Amino acid sequence: MLIQQFLELNARSFPGKEAVVNLGERMTYRQLDEGANKLANSLIARGINPGDRVGILVESSIDYVISFFGVLKAGGVVVGLNTDTTSRILRSVLSDCSASAIIVRHNLLHHLAELACDLPDLHLVITDGDYGKLECANKLTVEKYKEILERGNMENPGVARKGGDLATVMYTSGTTGDPKGVMLTHRNLEANTDSIVEYLQLTADDKVMDILPLYYSYGLSLLLTHMRVGGTIVVDTRFAFPNVILELMANEKVTGFAGVPTTFAILMNRSNFKKYTWNHLRYMTQAGGPMAPALTSRLIEAVPNVKLVIMYGQTEASARLSYLEHEKVIEKLGSIGKGIPGVTLTVRDEEGNACTPGIVGEIVAEGENIMVGYWNRPDETQRVLKADGLHTGDLAKSDEDGYLFIVGRNSEMIKSGAHRISPKEIEEIILEHEAVAETAVVGRRDPILGEAICAVVVLRDGFVVSEKDIIIHCSRNLPTFKVPKFVQFAHSLPKTQSGKVQRVRIKDSINE
358, with CB counted inside 10 A (0-12, 13-18, 19+), is: exposed
pLDDT at 176 over 50: no
For the whole model, what pTM was predicted? 0.86
What separation in angstroms does the CA of 322 have from each of 168, 288, 294, 319, 404? Answer: 22, 12, 21, 10, 9
- Note whether 393 and 362 are within 8 A (CB): yes
Average pLDDT rounded to a whole number, residues 152-170: 98
Q: Which residues pair with 346 in a beta bridge?
A: 364
- The gap from C-alpha 167 to its chain's centroid, in whole angstroms, comes to 15
Q: What is the pLDDT of residues 133-142, one digit of tens each?
A: 676 767 889 9
Q: What is the pLDDT of residues 11-67, one digit of tens each?
A: 999 999 999 999 999 999 999 999 999 999 999 999 999 999 999 999 999 999 999
- Per-residue H/E/C for 84-126: CCCHHHHHHHHHHCCCCEEEECHHHHHHHHCCHHHCCCCCEEE
**Which domains, from first to last, does the chain contain?**
4-161 (3.40.50.980), 187-409 (3.40.50.12780), 414-510 (3.30.300.30)
Percent of the chain with pLDDT over 70: 96
For the chain, percent helix, then strand, then coil, each to nearest 5? Answer: 35, 25, 40
Q: What is the pLDDT of residues 196-247, one digit of tens each?
A: 999 999 999 999 999 999 999 999 999 999 999 999 999 999 998 999 999 9
